[in-house]
Amino acid sequence: MNDVKLAELRRTPNALAPHYSQFQVAKRLLLSGHSHQAWPDFALEGQIEAFQDAARDVDEKWGRAFAKADEVRAGLRTFLDDPQAELALGASTHELVLRFLSALDLRRRPRIVTTLGEFHTLRRQLTRLGEAGLDVVALPVDPVDTLAERLAGAADERTAAVFVSSVLFETSRIVPGLGELAERCLLRGVELVVDAYHAIGPAAFSIPGQGLSSAWVLGGGYKYLQLGEGNCFMRVPAHAEGMRPVVTGWFAEFDALSDEHEPGKVAYGTGASRFAGATYDPTSHYRAARVFWFFAQHGLTPAFLRRVYQHHVGLLVARFDALNAPEALITRDRTTPLEGLGGFLSLRTARAGELQRALAARGVRTDSRADYLRLGPAPYLSDDQIVSAVDILGEVLRETPWT
């Protein structure tokens, strides 16, 4: 075991940085960790292994590929704190959402309740379904402290599902009260879907700890888990047994291929397999399995990573406040304590896009969403890199005529 300590990650160079030499993280100011993190060098071994297995075994490679998928599930279960979680895997959360939606009885329950703060995957798809005649209700996220309660109040007997994020993708706010929302949804026969993409990794997300055993949980490894593309999941609750998604791939009957099928009736496997898709590129799972191995070797557990992100976000907050930037131009949420934030700092400004481009021109990678400039650290960054990035933001704010 080669555990790293928080002090080793604060120094320059960061103790983890040498393991990310392909991405050159020690030489770059990558404050885009909330969007896309660097991959450890070991990830390349997984991609090479996938090619080698295909070259050696040709179509017989799938046994090894499915074993890699199981390794990915095991890694994800650790970050969900749910050792027995039934997990359907997909290349994107969108394809998993489609399979879920297609399993709902939308004729009997034609209402979907969600928020105005969901990521574009849900925003776009649910809005389009609303255009097509579904009753889609989207609540404002503010005040966040009452969001779960307001969602529960909006979920009536006509509601099929409630969609909500655990950490809001624009603001980094952790949404409280999801366990109580899950209880009320279960009592009313409403499915609760929690988007945990921005929670797993930086927020020590726990399905049992948050009372979400009856919930569906969506997420992926493109961001904080450093798994790259193609590694999304949907946690399927036990009560989903018997659901029959209309959007379904032939892998969903893998467990039943040898059984006799009733003519004209589609068969499904058990557990999460009923939400499986079809033939896919397994390279992403080979890569992800190596990354999870790397995390385990270096003690990058959910609890430890939460400490890392809290330290980094706290440092961002302190350095930004020291800039004394004009609040008319750029500000942050000063009502939410540090423990109420996920893995990035969100700064509100009408010039978010311009600031992002100005920072990029000076070597600082960030991103923006509407009126939010987002600064996302990662475990391989040193304190000095974070300080340098915010100092450059200060230079941009001082030197650019914004009026």
For the chain, domains (ranges, CATH) are 6-41+299-399 (3.90.1150.10), 46-292 (3.40.640.10)
Pairing between β-strand 364-365 and β-strand 29-30 as defined by DSSP bridges: parallel
Of 33 and 259, the structure prediction assigns the larger pLDDT to 33
Mean pLDDT value across residues 16-36:
97
Whether residue 298 is predicted with pLDDT greater than 70 in this model: the reply is yes
DSSP 259: S
pLDDT for the residue 45: 97
Question: Rounded CA gap, 362 and 395, in Å?
Answer: 10
Whether residue 258 is predicted with pLDDT greater than 60 in this model: the reply is no
pLDDT for the residue 390: 98
Question: Rounded CA gap, 134 and 296, in Å?
Answer: 44
Would you place residue 153 in the very low, low, confident or very high pLDDT band (cuts 50, 70, 90)?
very high
Lay out the sheet containing 372-375: strands in order across: 331-332, 345-348, 372-375, 367-369
Do residues 174 and 167 make contact, with C-beta atoms less than 8 angstroms apart?
A: yes
Element (H, E) at 385: helix 383-399
Phi, psi of 396 (to 5 degrees): -60, -45
Question: Rounded CA gap, 186 and 180, in Å?
Answer: 10
Q: First vs last Cα of the chain: how many Å apart?
A: 54
Q: Which residues contact 347 (CB under 8 A, 6 or more apart)?
A: 320, 330, 331, 332, 372, 373, 374, 375
Do residues 234 and 90 make contact, with C-beta atoms less than 8 angstroms apart?
A: yes
Mean pLDDT value across residues 176-196:
98
Mean pLDDT value across residues 159-187:
98
Whether residue 262 is predicted with pLDDT greater than 80 in this model: the reply is no
Question: Rounded CA gap, 14 and 160, in Å?
Answer: 48
Whether residue 290 is predicted with pLDDT greater than 50 in this model: the reply is yes
- 96-132 pLDDT, tens per residue? 999 999 999 999 999 999 999 999 999 999 999 999 9
The label of the residue with tokens 């190596």 reads 290
Would you place residue 259 in the very low, low, confident or very high pLDDT band (cuts 50, 70, 90)?
low
- 246-255 pLDDT, tens per residue? 999 999 987 6
Whether residue 295 is predicted with pLDDT greater than 90 in this model: the reply is yes
Mean pLDDT value across residues 217-231:
97
**E strands, 287-385, where?**
331-332, 345-348, 364-365, 367-369, 372-375
Mean pLDDT value across residues 202-227:
97
- Longest alpha-carbon distance in the chain: 73
Mean pLDDT value across residues 335-359:
97
Mean pLDDT value across residues 58-66:
95
pLDDT for the residue 256: 65
- 312-329 pLDDT, tens per residue? 999 999 999 999 999 999
Would you place residue 261 in the very low, low, confident or very high pLDDT band (cuts 50, 70, 90)?
low
β partners of residue 217: 194, 235
pLDDT for the residue 260: 61
Mean model confidence pLDDT for the chain: 95
Whether residue 135 is predicted with pLDDT greater than 70 in this model: the reply is yes
pLDDT for the residue 403: 65
Would you place residue 1 in the very low, low, confident or very high pLDDT band (cuts 50, 70, 90)?
very low
Would you place residue 2 in the very low, low, confident or very high pLDDT band (cuts 50, 70, 90)?
low
Question: Rounded CA gap, 119 and 222, in Å?
Answer: 14
pLDDT for the residue 305: 97
